[in-house]
Amino acid sequence: MVSPANLLRLGVLVILMAFLLQPGWFGPLLKPLVQENAPVIYNRGSLLWLTVLHLRIVLIATLAATVVAVSLAILVTREAGTEFLPLSRSLVNIGQTFPPVAVLALSVPIFGFGEKPTLIALFLYGLLPIFENALTGLTTLPPAVIEAARGAGMTERQRLLKVELPLALPVILTGIRLSVVISLATATIGSTVAAKTLGEVIIAGLQANNLAFVLQGGLIVAALAVLIHDALQAMERALAQRSQV
């Protein structure tokens, strides 16, 4: 039997896809929010294509942050790399120390306008939650399991790939989920430096005093964040249950 929560998620997904594919259907609902003769549905580009580009930027930045953050966590949990833990923490905290707007302002003179400054900002901002969760996952493994792996004659590399990372994966995925949700919202500011994101819709609404545009961009980002958050959370639960078997 489908739970009410899953029905609600399905409803959000259906409405989101309908709006992206046929936004004109929702014009009557949004018309009270605009001034007379002002456009109701965003008309400076395709909402579907902007959503795809928005997700693409978030995906690239999250993948890069995951590779770097997990690699650093693995390094500092090895005997030869424990002394690098303070340095690693300082590095991953850079993104939280500098606001994304400041990172954009510093990146534009070097990389120019467009997608690159946004990717750098999202990458730096996403490092900390993934690193801390990967560190927690790798340092809280059951000692008996690690000893059993050693007793079975596994090398350190085999223990890492076949035992430690699979067991730590649910916790690592929690960090990735937090990073993705943060990036989905933060990516909207990329449009201030000419990156193609849903922030373009929000900025156009603010410039034209068109509340319907602002609402469209904000609700699409919110719906994506909720759906992706819940999907990743379901994956975490499935992996956690599998690791306990």
Give the model confidence (pLDDT) of 190-228 as tens digits: 888 888 999 999 999 999 899 999 999 999 999 999 999
Amino acid (1-letter code) at residue 12? V
Is residue 6 a part of any domain in this protein?
no
32-52: b (≥16 Cβ within 10 Å) or e: ebbeeeeebbbeeeebeebbe
For residue 181, the model assigns a pLDDT of: 93
Give the pLDDT band (50/70/90) at residue 19.
Answer: very high
For residue 14 the two structure tokens come to 């259906």
pLDDT at 5 over 70: yes
Residue 49 or residue 103, greater confidence: 49
The enclosing domain of 201 has a CATH number of: 1.10.3720.10
CB-neighbour burial class of residue 232 (10 A; exposed 0-12, middle 13-18, buried 19+): middle
Is residue 36 a part of any domain in this protein?
no
Q: In Å, how far are 13, 40, 125, 185 from 16, measured between CA atoms?
A: 5, 17, 27, 17
Instruction: Using the Cα atoms of residue 2, residue 7, residue 13 and residue 14 in order, give the sign of their dihedral.
Output: positive
Q: How many domains does the chain have?
A: 1
Indicate the average pLDDT of the chain: 88
Is residue 192 a part of any domain in this protein?
yes
For residue 28 the two structure tokens come to 């009557």
Among 38-47, 51-60, 145-154, which stretch is predicted with the lowest mean pLDDT? 145-154
Is residue 7 a part of any domain in this protein?
no
pLDDT at 98 over 80: no
Is residue 50 a part of any domain in this protein?
yes
pLDDT at 2 over 80: no
pTM exceeds cut of 0.95 = no
Amino acid (1-letter code) at residue 234? A
pLDDT at 6 over 90: no
The C-alpha angle with vertex 222 and arms to 221 and 223, in degrees rounded to 5, equals 95
Please compute Rg for the chain using Cα positions.
Answer: 21
Is residue 27 a part of any domain in this protein?
no
Across 139-163, average pLDDT:
82
For residue 214, the model assigns a pLDDT of: 93
114, 107 Cβ separation under 8 angstroms: no
For residue 174, the model assigns a pLDDT of: 93
pLDDT at 133 over 90: yes
Whose CA is closest to 178, among 234, 239, 128?
Answer: 128
Distance separating alpha carbons of residues 117 and 109, to the nearest angstrom? 9
Range of the domain at 225: 46-244
Is residue 28 a part of any domain in this protein?
no
CB-neighbour burial class of residue 198 (10 A; exposed 0-12, middle 13-18, buried 19+): buried
Is residue 31 a part of any domain in this protein?
no
Give the pLDDT band (50/70/90) at residue 245.
Answer: low
Alpha helices in the chain (DSSP H): 4-21, 27-30, 47-76, 85-92, 94-97, 100-111, 115-139, 143-151, 156-159, 165-186, 199-207, 211-244
Share of the chain above pLDDT 70, in %: 98
